[in-house]
């Protein structure tokens, strides 16, 4: 039990340190030495958990994508406005609670491949792939759907960057109203 707590703490400190350094510079410019110095751990401890800074970043991104995949599945199961807004609010609350990491991941300093994976995940979970578009439960065209997804992600990126000028509930309602203006 003590080992697990120590491992969780080490991973958390390394993740937080990487994100802090990524606020200042691109990951390609971050060395393991400076990452370990910032986290106040030795290099052997780092290498016991990760192969390099890219592996650490990938683990952070994978956690976000896994959580988001589960959230999208939940959204897709909702058929009514209040249920959909409730799930969107939980997504927005997750963004607030994890804002330190997400602000960097979704910024210019973040990994562009992660941002592409984010869009791909949303499209696939909602029944759209690069080769086919299946009518989704939202009753909109492919073009409308792409516009809504890109607009929503852009709005969330702006919300993250500007310090949450709206509450999670207000943001969920804005996204819903823009995605489904006539419902």
Lowest mean pLDDT among 30-34, 56-60, 77-81: 77-81
User: In the chain, what percentage of residues exceed pLDDT 70?
Assistant: 89
* Residues sharing a CB contact under 8 Å with residue 23, sequence separation 6 or more, in sequence order: 104, 109
Q: What is the rounded distance in angstroms from the CA atom of residue 22 to the CA atom of residue 109?
A: 6
Whole-model pTM: value is 0.82
Is the domain spanning 1-50 CATH 1.20.120? The answer is no
Q: What is the rounded distance in angstroms from the CA atom of residue 75 to the CA atom of residue 169?
A: 15
Q: Which two tokens stand for residue 97?
A: 């609670």
Q: What is the rounded distance in angstroms from the CA atom of residue 3 to the CA atom of residue 33?
A: 24
130-141 pLDDT, tens per residue? 444 444 455 677
Per-residue model confidence (pLDDT) at position 139: 61
Q: Domains of the chain: which residue ranges?
A: 1-50, 58-179
């Amino acid at each position: 039990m003590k080992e697990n707590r120590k491992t969780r703490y080490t991973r958390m400190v390394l993740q937080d340190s990487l994100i802090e350094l990524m606020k200042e510079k691109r990951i390609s410019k971050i060395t393991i030495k400076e990452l370990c110095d910032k986290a106040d751990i030795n290099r052997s401890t780092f290498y016991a958990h990760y192969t390099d800074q890219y592996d650490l970043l990938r683990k952070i991104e994978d956690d976000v994508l896994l959580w988001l995949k589960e959230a999208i599945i939940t959204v897709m199961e909702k058929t009514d406005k209040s249920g959909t807004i409730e799930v969107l609010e939980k997504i927005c609350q997750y963004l607030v609670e994890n804002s330190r990491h997400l602000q960097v991941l979704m910024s210019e300093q973040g990994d562009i491949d992660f941002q592409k994976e984010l869009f791909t995940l949303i499209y696939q979970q909602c029944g759209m792939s690069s080769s086919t578009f299946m009518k989704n439960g939202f009753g909109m065209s492919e073009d409308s759907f792409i516009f809504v997804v890109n607009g929503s992600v852009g709005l969330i990126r702006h919300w993250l960057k500007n310090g949450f000028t709206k509450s999670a509930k207000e943001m969920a309602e804005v996204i819903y109203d823009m995605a489904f203006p006539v419902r």
